[in-house]
Amino acid sequence: MIVPLASGAEARLTGSGPRAVVCVNGGASAEAPGTWSASLEWLVGRLAPRLPQLAFLEVRYRVKSWRRLDDCVEDARAALAAAREAGAREVALLGFSMGGAVAVRAAGDALVSTVIGLAPWLSPKLDLSPLRGRRLAVVHGGLDAPFPGIPGVRPALSERGAERASALGVETARTVIPGAFHAIALRAPWGTPVPLPRAGRWAAVVGAELEQFACA
């Protein structure tokens, strides 16, 4: 089900329940219209049947660019408001790539108890204080790296981000998946997300984190 957000963005709702997972996408330098994330869509398709007690809300930004990061954060906060209106009493933010930074900045909302960053862009300049009182889980592909024309986030960046969060007193966990790249899935020309190598391991690690969230 497509849910219009107050910011002008959209979200796609799968399932229902008092605990929700708000999923926020990555981005690029170019200021392009928002799209659905193939990686997050594949994960939701894999995990929602396993975790029927959770609602999943995937956000499609108005513009998916780190040059418009403030707007992306506004879209994430609008999705949190929509989750609250739908009856969620607790939220996990699941952020892929740039979405990791978006999730951190939106984590100060009272609904949020957990932030899960997938290959998250945790810049040294990113203020991690919104994570205080929350749990941070970082999952990163061991082969992640930027290439010409292909976004990527080196694992060392999330390692330093997790260390900074831990120094603030944030409960932090980090998992590196050997042999995994930046993305979890890519979108085929016919529209279906196609999993990349080690996608099953991504699903297992993220699923375990969400099971912990669901049972908290």
Q: How many residues are listed for the chain in this entry?
A: 216
pTM over 0.85: yes
Tokens of 36: 């659905």
First to last CA, the chain: 27
pLDDT value at residue 127: 96
pLDDT value at residue 33: 85
The model's pLDDT over 69-100, given as tens digits with 9 standing for 90+, comes to 999 999 999 999 999 999 999 999 999 999 99
In words, the CATH class of domain 2-215 is alpha beta
Give the model's confidence band at 65: pLDDT under 50 very low, under 70 low, under 90 confident, else very high. confident
Give the model's confidence band at 155: pLDDT under 50 very low, under 70 low, under 90 confident, else very high. very high
Residues whose CB is less than 8 angstroms from the CB of residue 159 and which lie 6 or more positions away in sequence, other chains included: 140, 174
Boundaries of every domain in the chain = 2-215
Report the 10 Å Cβ neighbour count for 2. Answer: 8
- Strands 2-4 and 10-14, bridge-based pairing: antiparallel
